[in-house]
Structure 1
Amino acid sequence: MKWLEKLAAGFALLGGLCALLVAGLTLYSVIGRNLFAHPLPGDVELSQIGIALSIALCLPWCQLKRGNIIVDFFTQAAPERVNGALDRFGALLLAVMLGVLAWRTGVGALAVDEAGEQTMILGLPMWWGYAVLTPGLALTTVIAVAQVVRR
């Protein structure tokens, strides 16, 4: 599991860097729009893709560190064995859901590439926006499966 932790940490660092780049891009565009009446063309497109990438890259770390919200109102008094079983079941459900998302995102990227779709302003290939999400979703799936097996 140590290699998963290192990989998830690397993904999270890339995700944080991506979020910082989006923040800088937004700042540049706002300053350009307000001071020089010249915003950065395609800033919204780039922000959408960048933040989606950032979130997808940070998901594995969040799952690894059990940082997702857990509603335990009804299970606070339950024995540790019951809570452990519920945690494993939740990780299994997450693994299934994110596995399907990773698969469909990859398939969607191929379909959008075949269709030749592009963003409205910059004309960037739309498949990029799908393809960059797949690794983070897939790694989160692997981590969730590992948690089901190891707990």
Structure 2
Amino acid sequence: MRLLLRKITWLFAVLGGLVALAVGVMTVASVSLRFFTTQPIQGDVEMVQMGVAVAISLCIAWCQLRGANIIVDFFTQNASARTTRWLDGLGCVLIAVMYGLLAWRTTIGAFAVHEVNETTMTLELPMWWAYASLAPGLMLAALVALVQAWLHFTGQDLQTLQGERQGEFA
């Protein structure tokens, strides 16, 4: 299960990286067109906004899995290993709840904007696409955080989830 979760989060992150790369290439093309022809790519700002949001949501589960989020351990530096594990587990539960709430609300938002046929201003792209594409990454991040919480609470090593013990990257 841990290997499957790690592989899925890695695939989401690669997909998120590809989306970010596409946004970057499109931005360079739009700026170049604006410089050479004074006409940028129509709707470039809309595509950047949606693309960056999607890229972040796809990458956030990998970030959570790798423990790459900010940890403030100033107050727990002298705490026992058991206390630190319990607090880390509690932090994982809280972030899982936050990711879950965000996934739920973006899903509800996708249905709401689909119902009223809301579109972007310039390209008139359906807005529900953007909302709906955020939910899977957020749901995966919530699942990863819950697994991490379980590992913390049961005293298991997080490196087995991260793949560091086996020397695996993905």
Q: TM-score, normalised by structure 1?
A: 0.98
The list of structure 1 runs, each at least 4 consecutive aligned residues, that deviate by more than 3 angstroms after superposition, is none
* Match of residue 147 from structure 1: 148
| Equivalent position of 1:125 in the other structure | 126
Give the match's secondary structure for 2:101. helix
List per-residue Cα deviations over 1:14-70 (Å, max 9, x = no partner).
Answer: 011111100000000000001111100000000000000000000000000111000
Q: How does 1:2-151 map to 2 (within 5 A)?
A: 2-151=3-152
CA drift of 1:134 comes to 0.3
Matched AA of 1:106? T
CA distance in 2, matches of 1:36, 1:115: 37
Equivalent-residue separation in structure 1 for 2:31 and 2:151 (angstroms):
48
Helix, strand or coil at the partner of 2:30 = helix
What CA distance in whole angstroms lies between the structure 2 residues aligned with 1:126 and 1:76? Answer: 45
Q: How far apart are 1:112 and its partner, in Å?
A: 0.4
The superposition leaves residues 93-124 of structure 1 with CA deviations (integer Å, 9 ceiling, x where unpaired) of 00111101101100110010001000000000
Q: Matched residues in 1 for 2:36 and 2:80: separation?
A: 61
Deviation at 1:150, TM superposition (A): 2.0
- Give distance in 2, aligned partners of 1:24 and 1:72: 39
Give the Cα–Cα distance (whole angstroms) in 1 for the partners of residues 115 and 150 of structure 2. 38
Give distance in 1, aligned partners of 2:25 and 2:48: 10
- Distance, in Å, in 1 between the alignment partners of 2:151 and 2:77 is 22
Give the AA of the match of 2:55.
Answer: S
TM-score, normalised to structure 2's length?
0.88
**How many angstroms apart in 1 are the aligned matches of 2:41 and 2:69?**
35
Cα distance between partner residues in 1 of 2:150 and 2:71: 19
Q: Distance in 1 between matches of 2:102 and 2:55?
A: 16
Give unmatched runs, 5+ long, in structure 1: none
Identity %: 51
2:161 corresponds in structure 1 to: none
Paired positions, count: 151
